[in-house]
Amino acid sequence: MASHRKSRPSGTRVAGIRTPALATAALTSVALLSQSANAAPTADDKPSLEEVEKKVDDLYRQAESATDKYNAAKEKTAKQRKRVDNLLDDVAQRTQKLNEAREELGSFAAAQYRTGASAPDTATFLLADTPQDYFDQTQLMDRMTGRQKVAVDDFVTQQSETMKKRQEATESLETLTESQGDLKTAKSTVQRKLADARELLSKLTAEEKARLAAIEKKKQEEAARKAEELARQQAAQQKAREEAAAQQQESGSSSSSGSSSSSAPVDSSYSSKADKALAFARAQIGKPYVWGAIGPDSYDCSGLTQAAWKAAGVTLPRTTYDQVNAGTTVSLSQAQPGDLVFFYDDVTHVGIYIGNGMMIHAPKPGAYVREESIYYDGESAIHSVVRPA
């Protein structure tokens, strides 16, 4: 009888249902995948150092962009606050004059009351909603004396001008409130971006920080190589200009002037101003970068360039995106000491060129004013070069 029994299929039971071996294997795989999905992230999920470096650099750039907005809002707020103060002072003075005019009219009303004059002209005038309302409804002016008319004219003028200035002050206060809101928003954005960057860096191990420093050093070496290449190019162009000028002087001909006109030397007045700006910038080396700072103990990038050129007697705007329009744009190959070098498509960084592919700038939070290659963040980061005076 046993020989007629059917063999029991291999497999297991799941919830009372017999499953074949292949299905069991599939279920096991699903369970393992589920466990893997719920497991903590592995080391492979951690961003690479290059990704961390890029993220931190992006955050610093975003902070610089927000800093420019903060600087613009701060400047606008200061100007608006000054305007509001001036308007309020003006309103106070005009209110005083209006009160004096009102008192003079009141004296006429009192005199009429004491003498029993039948025409309540001035008193009625003072009780009207506005002087013009009363004039539109009565023949008051015809019944007033000459002195009364002069007093009324003065009162009407003072009232009209005072109301106008009060309206201007109200509107200026509203604009000031908006500027203060923009200032607060920009400040909050800068602080948030810098906090995010610090948090990313704080998660790195000592070994990772060392490797990150090595990556940065390699970038600096490449930037220095690029700067030397530009210095050689500029030196060759200068030599060619000098040779062309010498040949022209020897031949007494102006035929070669066209070849050198596009690269004419910088005039002496600019060189003198540039020397003063550079002397100031060099004296700031070692001072910390602080966003929104304009010296004398710390600077942000545009604060440094503004202060440097101020020392040379040239007034520059506060922000990078205004400074980039405050001069003549020149090619990089024609850059001269003192020129401003701007970076990134959104023009969020600036340094002052010192020659040989190098500049002085206030780099970023946590860093100090220093000399550095203009290629510190790669050739593509350079936006333009501007001669400010």
Contact yes or no for 49/200 (Cβ under 8 A): no
Active-site residue (options: 349, 364, 383, 387): 349
DSSP letters for 69-116: HHHHHHHHHHHHHHHHHHHHHHHHHHHHHHHHHHHHHHHHHHHHHHHT
- Is 361 among the catalytic positions? yes
Active-site residue (options: 87, 194, 301, 308): 301
Buried b (16+ CB within 10 A) or exposed e, 365-386: beeebbebbbbbbeeeebbbbb
HSE toward the beta carbon, residue 50, CA cutoff 13 A: 2
Residue tagged 């003063």 (tokens):
276
d(CA 136, CA 153): 15
Residue tagged 């927000």 (tokens):
66
- Is 349 among the catalytic positions? yes
Active-site residue (options: 76, 94, 361, 383): 361
Angle 125-126-131 from CA coordinates, rounded to 5°: 55
d(CA 366, CA 202): 14
- Is 301 among the catalytic positions? yes
d(CA 145, CA 387): 69
Buried b (16+ CB within 10 A) or exposed e, 286-319: ebebbbbbbbeebbbbbbbbbbbbbbbebebbbb
Contact yes or no for 156/105 (Cβ under 8 A): no
Residue tagged 């990313």 (tokens):
200
**Of 289, 290, 349, the residue nearest 319 (C-alpha):** 349
Residue 387's DSSP bridge partners are: 328
- Pairing type for strands 382-387 and 370-373 reads unpaired
Active site residues: 301, 349, 361
